[in-house]
Structure 1
């Protein structure tokens, strides 16, 4: 009699650790702070990965979940400018112009569970379940299908920390971080077995919040919150281990990790100074306002040649594109070259401030490139580019101690090439499993 072994259907499980740099992860491995992940890392490939530009969650996670760059998916920052105006809008999931990983899986008859994915608010219909992450403000609009709203509310599910309160009191920050991490555990418990899924995704954004405010506490044993910071990462390590073991049991893999991904969306480093680039433009005579204390871009004067949006996105005040734009197309390239040359020489305390200035055509491709900022300014580590209009100082300190970097992210899988990946390459690698 011939016995036929039951075929195991392909599944993928992905865990995202927002902002966790590879260097810090390896340091934690060496120190025994994340022993479960350290042991797991020996079974596969742990490689560096570069982020989207600019390296912020709205852009990087959208690039990940669509497998495209901003010139194709249309998200260039947390905010963007409404056409033919200076008015800003906050970007949301409706601004993503291409299909996501789970949209494409749905067309193949596959079901997905997505927990805490940034840049997916308001939640929209899919084959499976979506709980929106960072950027969501209302749980009723953050969950699809609606049948899961009540079970999540019963578990006191928290979308994110209360950032204003947390930034004022770091004990409150740690309490909020523990509370949101518990919410992620509860969501996994709720959805792991209640849904017959093919693709399961869990994103942890508390790591990013912790690193912004408490980067300085990571390796300072004298810092009052040093033990609590390490305890958070130890608890995170246990959560990763629990999800991995569940996945191995579900797929009958025991010791193998086929179909498992763990990644971060950008790196992190010490924050030394914030850099207010609109102040620099004003000092250079390239930006002026119609009032002494500008409230918004609506106060930009016709004499303005360029202005900045967070983080380091520069727009030429073109005639025909902006209401008070007077820069003609024939002048644009000259102005961009002048700005780039000057920015590349900008220093603070004999340190270079700018690492690179990209033209949009250098880094973006797709039908939406024309909507992109004209120049994207990449800072040197330690200098965080800001776009406030009424800041009198070019350089300023901040209570935050950590900032994003485009380099330093990581990806872990059972089989990855040794060379560095880019975050928008992962969607195709995931889809190949199906």
Structure 2
């Protein structure tokens, strides 16, 4: 049986065993496609059921989360934690609170997290969790009660040497605080390393809030530099206006770019003169209002409720909103409008068709498992500070983050070149992330 046939046979089996989980199927298909070239060159990676073990989570937790709303009514949500792979270290990955969350979404995110964490070079495994609870429109008291109920079950399965969750969509500093408080209450001790994204006065790390957005731009800058270009003077599109997008916008403009558009679920904002980051942060972080308010308060900004942000003419695109937001038609529009570099701030925001369009059109594309690894990298740096009871300066932590992201770019670029596909950063990221985990799994036996 050829390698193609072996991979196809396994993938078909995976589809049957994991029915109704399209995002997980998509994530696995992308990685397996890249690994065919590895299995041809290094067939020992097919030994001992390695690929099958890699694609099967070590543990999948689903649990009931009952809580009482402000009207005294009992509500019931579903909680998840998928502990996917611990070959490199304790499970590490965020918690997502959003109505779209289901087991398939968490498995896709956890699977991606394995390779993302591997690429950081830090000793952390891959996991992910969350709930279909929607924090939007809830009072602080309701969110606190939900988080306490969620942690009442989750605390049995996590620990600083076992599984260290962080925040993700819908889980910010407020939610992490409530979750940590309940964990501390149940554990009976101040185990600060059990969660990351904590407040700065009780074990958190400087740069953690900025890390995913900053890291995305650091890697993008390295990619441009490698091809003789620079962010200075570049026009950049950033989708989204959440935490990742805001700090990607901030860092891109610090490095001399002009961000000419951003978006949220209500539409997109054209900003030909660049983004007033302080105003955007005030609207989204402090006032928790829609991005459309930005147009009312900043001169020159133009609101759009139709069309697409991807129709703007630019040099660089940074999708930072959600999975599969950028499809084949969007990719063709970006290429036609002069975009030569795309880097993912969100998890899997580009569809497989979009990635193929970028390849065909010669657009350099950095996948999320490499480009948005700054968040988890800085979470791991927070774990280091907690373990040593230390606190680092913003400048030192930012330097560590910058170095990690530069190393990730060099690693994926060198790996793509080694396997005869120079410039294919999807292949480079998948292979580089895979080999480190695979070598550890083989060394540790069949477990």
One fold, TM greater than 0.5? no
Structure (1 or 2) with the greater strand fraction: 1
TM-score (norm 2): 0.27
TM-score (norm 1): 0.27
Structure number with greater CO (CA < 8 Å, separation at least 6) is 1
